Amino acid sequence: MTEFTMATDADGVATITWDTPGKSMNVMSLEGFSELDGLIDKALADDAVKGVIVTSGKEGSFAGGMDLNIIAKMKDSVGDNPAKGLFDGVMATHKILRKIERGGMDAKNKGGKPICAALPGTALGIGLEIPLACHHIIAADNPKAKIGLPEIMVGIFPGMGGTTRLSWKMGAMAASPLLLEGKLNNPKRAKSAGVVDEVVAPEELLAKAKEWVLSEPKIVKPWDEKGYKIPGGAPYHPAGFMTFVGANAMVNGKTKGVFPAAKALLSAVYEGMQVPFDTALKIEARWFTNVLMNPSSTAMIRSLFINKEALEKGANRPDVPDQKVKKLGVIGAGMMGAGIALVSAQAGIEVVLIDQKQEAADRGKAYSESYMDKGIARKKATPEKKEQLLNRITATTDYAALAGADLIIEAVFEDVGVKAAVTKEVLAAVGPDCIFATNTSTLPITELAKAADNAEQFIGIHFFSPVEKMLLVEIIKGKQTGDRAVAKALDFVRQIRKTPIVVNDARFFYANRCIIPYINEGIRLVKEGVEPTLVENAAKLLGMPLGPLQLVDETSIDLGVKIAKATRAAMGDDYPDGEVDEVLFWMADEGRLGRKTSAGFYAYDEKGKRQGLWDGLEARYPVSDAQPELSEVQHRLLFAQVLEAVRALEEGVLEDIREGDVGAILGWGFAPWSGGPFGWLDILGAERAVELTEALAKKHGARFATPDLLREIAASGGGFYDRFGTGSDAKAA
């Protein structure tokens, strides 16, 4: 496969064009690297070539990065000594990029040919690391283009020289948002940040690159000259030293030490800045190898990139013709309905937003208006865009406006009777093919479907709050839900650019089924006399974005009470959470309903800003003298969630562990470093998980009982991904 081609013009400028066949954006493969290497050799050796332009054959982009599928598999494909194999592989790419950077100069920086990167647009990951090795970077002024190094977002860091080159070029402080947060910029911002050198009109890109190449520019990089001082100072200078003190604190504060890539990146920069440039690259390669060898990076790449993308592309979509939504009816213009209307209109879908009173419907639409106003204030939207979006939303009380709708999403009060009445009224107003979805968070879909004449066309589409921010949508099949309804829901989620998981109908579906026991375990611990701060910090130190007590404050304590009452009514004597309810109901009686009342497990100031944990909690549930080990609290909090995920798989609520893992990270922020609950179990090892759950069950009760499936996996000696990894055979038992 030819990915790179080269043509030399009459003026002696060789243009190397990157054009991965069959892809809309270039992605780097190992073969691609060796093609680029061969062409650079040829250009440097050819006396007729005065200089080189490296560009892309794709409109609007240079490259999307390295093929992460390759990175994920690299460890397994480099032989018996994977660390050495990886290190050697990374060093081989450094050699190619360093060759570009030296441009054929001798040891005294004499001679050499200028090499200019000409970026038509987006340049990510290796797509920026190659340009950073060139002598000059020109980007086309394409405001939609994104330029940056986002590797940290999927659990690795820029390990093909990007970390070293960017930090040596800009200084550690200026490079830190780009490296540690993976911040992406459009070309103009990339220029002001100092990442690219010039921004030109797209049609002038190649001409300007040629002009630069022929201008006999100075090509030696500052770090290849004597006496180069890294901006901001190297770590052994007082100024540079302080940068690292701050950076360390920031990284540990943000990652709680559980994301290996951030620490490794910082180490690569810190150590690299104290040695010559070539040694710095070697250090970067060593840390990069260290991260690739860490099971966390494999798990993160798998869930956050490979499987997330597979689900978005419809990995589990039934084979039914295109079901794209043209006209959507949203019933209930409250918090959820207003958000659903907004994201749908953003995707270009015509929306009818219905509520009982015109004022309520208008209020729902006004949510989109204020959202767009904020966007305009931040220069992310324009008044025209706002007008177009608002024109797509009709706020009304009139069900007749639903005529022609092909999908309905009902988001009225969480009440079976109200939902049934609304379902009947809607179905009388729409055509026979319209799919009806409910956004219920707790009510069984199969039960709600009874209000519809055709249960095959009835489905759950469960959004998370706030709708415009949360990336996950949980699609729930009732017992009779048909393929077309599933395909419709999946196609809709794709239109609004969120990530779907498809699960079967059971109490709390998948996400809430795992989140509720997490919150409950936190509350139980408090009732037992465990320090509330220990509970919250134990969760944070696992990489959970919110401790269980903060989470229940955010989602509201009265909602917890409502769910507890409904669950107790449904389960009768089997109801297991009486202990938890005692605390929860007491909090509700005290009027402490969480953030919305500025009072909950936490105290809040008069502006509603969260302060420390509320001291009244300790007065009612005194802290015991003997506190448990941190690891025991952590295991209780993690297994409370993870065992539910395993049971959901055992019971067939989950059909695919990829959905279980991606859904957990995107839905409630489950320790992303682990790749999700199944990823975590695989890192821990099933045998160890059996041991731990047996001990927990003995001490704390049946909620920690070891599921049969976990025992089976432990006995087989493999992991969940060995058995269910591809999704095709993911049905358990």
**Which positions lie near ligand NAD, rule CB under 6 A?**
331-337, 354-356, 360, 411-414, 418, 422, 439-441, 462-463, 465
Rounded to 5°, the CA angle 91-96-99 comes to 120
Number of C-beta neighbours around residue 398 at 10 A: 12
Q: Which are the contacts of 367, defined by CB distance < 8 A and separation ≥ 6?
A: 338, 339, 341, 342
In angstroms, give the least distance from the CB of 452 to ligand NAD: 16
Nearest distance, CB of residue 351 and ligand NAD, angstroms: 15
> Closest distance between ligand NAD and the C-beta of residue 387, in Å?
25
Q: Which is nearer to ligand NAD, 278 or 398 (CB)?
A: 398
Tokens of 196: 């690219």
Q: Are 692 and 275 in contact (CB under 8 A)?
A: no
Question: Which amino acid is it at 667?
Answer: G
The residue (of 72 and 472) whose beta carbon lies closer to ligand NAD is 472
Pairing state of beta strands 472-477 and 350-354?
A: unpaired
Report d(CA 447, CA 455) in Å as an integer: 10
By C-beta, is 104 or 337 nearer to ligand NAD? 337
Q: How far apart are the first and last CA of the chain?
A: 43
Amino acid identity at 355: D
**CA-based radius of gyration for the chain:** 28
Query: In what side-by-side order are the strands of the sheet with 61-63?
Result: 61-63, 122-124, 147-148
Q: Give the bridge partners for 118, in sequence order.
A: 138
Task: Give 342 or 709: the residue with its C-beta nearer to ligand NAD.
Answer: 342
Kindly tell me which of 185 and 439 has the beta carbon lying closer to ligand NAD: 439
Half-sphere exposure of 383 (CA within 13 A, CB side): 0
201, 191, 59: which is closest to 131 by C-alpha?
191
Give the integer Cα–Cα distance in Å for 45 and 528.
75
Least spacing, CB of residue 418 vs ligand NAD, in Å:
5
Query: How many whole angstroms from its chain centre is CA 649?
Result: 23
Residue closer to ligand NAD (CB basis): 511 or 638: 511
Beta carbon of residue 414, minimum distance to ligand NAD (angstroms, whole number): 4
Please name the residues in contact with 561: beta carbons below 8 A apart, sequence gap of 6 or more: 581, 584, 585, 588
For residue 422, the minimal CB distance to ligand NAD (Å) is 5
The strand pair at 4-8 and 13-18 is best described as antiparallel
Instruction: Name 353's bridge partners.
Output: 330, 395
CB-based contact 358:396 (threshold 8 Å): yes
Identify any residues that bridge with 421 across adjacent strands, giving them in sequence order.
Answer: none
Q: How far is the CB of 151 from ligand NAD (least distance, A)?
A: 33
Least distance (Å) between residue 363 CB and ligand NAD: 8
Residue (187 or 337) nearer to ligand NAD, CB: 337
- In the complex, residue closest to ligand NAD by CB: 334
Nearer to ligand NAD, 25 or 335 (CB): 335
Distance between CA atoms of 159 and 291, rounded to whole angstroms?
Answer: 10
Instruction: Kindly tell me which of 412 and 643 has the beta carbon lying closer to ligand NAD.
Output: 412
Decide: 166 and 132 in contact? Cβ < 8 Å: yes
Contact status, residue 563 vs residue 520, Cβ threshold 8 Å: no
The least CB distance from residue 336 to ligand NAD, in Å, is 3
Helix (H) or strand (E) holding 474, with range, is strand 472-477
Nearest residue (CB) to ligand NAD, 337 versus 679: 337
Minimum Å distance from CB 355 to ligand NAD? 4
Closest CA to 720 of 323, 307, 383: 307
Q: Which of 180, 178, 162 is nearest to 264 (CA)?
A: 180
CB 166 within 8 A of CB 175: yes
Active site residues: 441, 462, 474, 512
Among residues 254, 335, 331, 338, which one has the least CA distance to residue 555?
Answer: 335
